């Protein structure tokens, strides 16, 4: 029975929606016929035609109100109102095109800003980071003792990072990345600015990220004399190399401030498709730091951000308490070296 009822009602709903003028004419005819029959009945009771018409209208309670009740029974008011709103909007667009374009532009900018903010919040705060045990990852930075309690981030020099790495007893591994992002890629069409990042060789192991193709950086590839190597993002592998597995061993020429003529970098691996790093979300090329840049040889040049992964059975509170010890040893060693 319910199916039969639906088969009867659905065509009527479509007819009311797409043949509205015909439905309104039918409704008008029904009310006119009802009113005439009611007037005839009142005349038969002995009233004049004017008195009979007045009595019929009073009994009906208002024709327009009854028509609206019939329209409500179709359950199409929501769609009809939206269609009316759309027609009104189109008329306003045609009547005031300049104002309409400005309104649409402001609305588009607002939506784009909202989507951008939500994407950042979703990637940085809501969606779990695609790393192994992300809750055990920490940021390391140096700070003056009087500012350490209030400071939440900072940069370090490459030499300080190497000393931290050598004297580390708390973290399973430490790594760093250069805050200066980007390279210039040499292509057949000419030089192209591409997003990328320079990282220490333990960067991906610290995050707990394994390439889907090839390998990550070896520790000896951080030496100044080491041949340049590069890992590709999954997107760059698909877009620039067609996802071909023979990309390993190929070379790409990347230009940087300390290599203005460009250096051929050997492709050693491809990162997973879900890998993302909030500080360089669009990075396509990941290059190993090789200590060849002049700034990396000066302790006063703080151009790196450091990250670390807690060791097994070590809490964040214990790591924070133990970290100042190697820093104080380094400070005393360098003060003694300066005096000597």
Instruction: Judge if pTM exceeds 0.85.
Output: no
Q: Are residues 162 and 56 in the same domain?
A: no
Q: Residue 145 pLDDT more than 60?
A: no
Q: Residue 76 pLDDT more than 80?
A: no
* Buried/exposed 105-129: b ≥16 CB within 10 Å, e otherwise: eeeeeeeeeeeeeeeeeeeeeeeeb
Residue 126 lies in a domain: no
Residue 113 lies in a domain: no
- Provide the pLDDT confidence category of residue 172 given band limits of 50, 70 and 90: confident
Q: Are residues 141 and 87 in the same domain?
A: no
Average confidence (pLDDT) over 168-191: 84
Reading the block at residue 305, the tokens are 């951000």
Interval 235-279: pLDDT, tens: 999 999 999 989 999 999 998 766 667 889 999 999 999 888 877
Q: Are residues 220 and 321 in the same domain?
A: yes
Interval 34-69: pLDDT, tens: 778 877 887 888 888 888 787 777 777 766 777 666
Q: Are residues 172 and 232 in the same domain?
A: yes
Residue 51 lies in a domain: yes
Q: Are residues 172 and 317 in the same domain?
A: yes
Reading the block at residue 86, the tokens are 């759309």
- Point out the least confidently predicted range of 120-124, 153-157, 183-187, 208-212: 120-124
**pLDDT score at 137:** 84
**pLDDT score at 185:** 92
Q: Are residues 89 and 138 in the same domain?
A: no
Give residue 70's domain range.
Answer: 2-95
Pair 233, 247: CB distance under 8 Å: no
**pLDDT score at 5:** 57
Q: How far is 180 from 177, CA to CA, in rounded Å?
A: 9
**pLDDT score at 120:** 62
Q: Are residues 56 and 194 in the same domain?
A: no
Q: Residue 1 pLDDT more than 70?
A: no
Q: Are residues 290 and 229 in the same domain?
A: yes
Q: Three-state secondary structure along 228-269?
A: CEEEECHHHHHHHHCCCHHHCCCEEEEEECCEEEEEEEEEEE
Q: Are residues 57 and 170 in the same domain?
A: no
Domain boundary among 41, 67, 95: 95
Domain boundary among 95, 113, 142: 95
Mean pLDDT taken over the chain: 77
Residue 104 lies in a domain: no
Residue 118 lies in a domain: no
Q: Are residues 197 and 308 in the same domain?
A: yes
Residue 190 lies in a domain: yes
**pLDDT score at 337:** 43
Q: Are residues 217 and 305 in the same domain?
A: yes
Total domains in the chain come to 2
């Amino acid at each position: 029975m319910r199916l039969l009822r639906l088969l009867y009602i659905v065509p009527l709903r479509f007819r009311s929606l797409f043949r509205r003028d015909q439905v309104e004419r039918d409704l008008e005819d029904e009310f006119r016929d009802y009113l005439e029959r009611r007037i005839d009945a009142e005349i038969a009771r002995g009233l004049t035609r004017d008195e009979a018409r007045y009595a019929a209208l009073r009994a009906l309670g208002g024709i327009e109100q009854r028509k609206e009740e019939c329209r409500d029974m179709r359950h199409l008011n929501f769609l009809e109102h939206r269609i009316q709103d759309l027609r009104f909007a189109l008329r306003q667009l045609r009547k005031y095109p300049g104002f309409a374009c400005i309104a649409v532009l402001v609305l588009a900018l607002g939506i784009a800003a909202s989507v951008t903010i939500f994407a950042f919040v979703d990637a940085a705060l809501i969606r779990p980071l695609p790393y192994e045990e992300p809750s055990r990852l920490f940021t390391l930075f140096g700070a003056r003792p009087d500012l350490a309690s209030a400071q939440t981030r900072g940069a370090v020099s490459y030499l300080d990072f190497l000393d931290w790495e050598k004297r580390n007893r708390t973290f399973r591994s430490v790594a760093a990345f250069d805050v200066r992002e980007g390279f210039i890629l040499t292509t057949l069409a000419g030089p192209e600015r591409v997003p990328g990042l320079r990282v220490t060789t333990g960067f991906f192991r610290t995050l707990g990220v394994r390439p889907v193709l090839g390998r990550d950086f070896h520790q000896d590839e951080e030496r100044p004399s080491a041949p340049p190597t590069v890992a590709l993002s999954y997107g760059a592998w698909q877009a620039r190399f067609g996802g071909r597995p023979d990309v390993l061993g190929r070379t790409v020429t990347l230009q940087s401030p300390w290599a203005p003529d460009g250096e051929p970098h050997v492709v050693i691996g491809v990162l997973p498709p879900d890998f993302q790093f909030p500080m360089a979300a669009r990075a396509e090329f990941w290059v190993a730091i090789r200590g060849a840049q002049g700034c990396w040889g000066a302790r006063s040049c703080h151009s790196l951000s450091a990250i670390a992964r807690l060791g097994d059975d070590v809490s964040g509170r214990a790591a924070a308490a133990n970290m100042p010890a190697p820093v104080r040893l380094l400070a005393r060693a360098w003060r003694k070296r300066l005096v000597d």
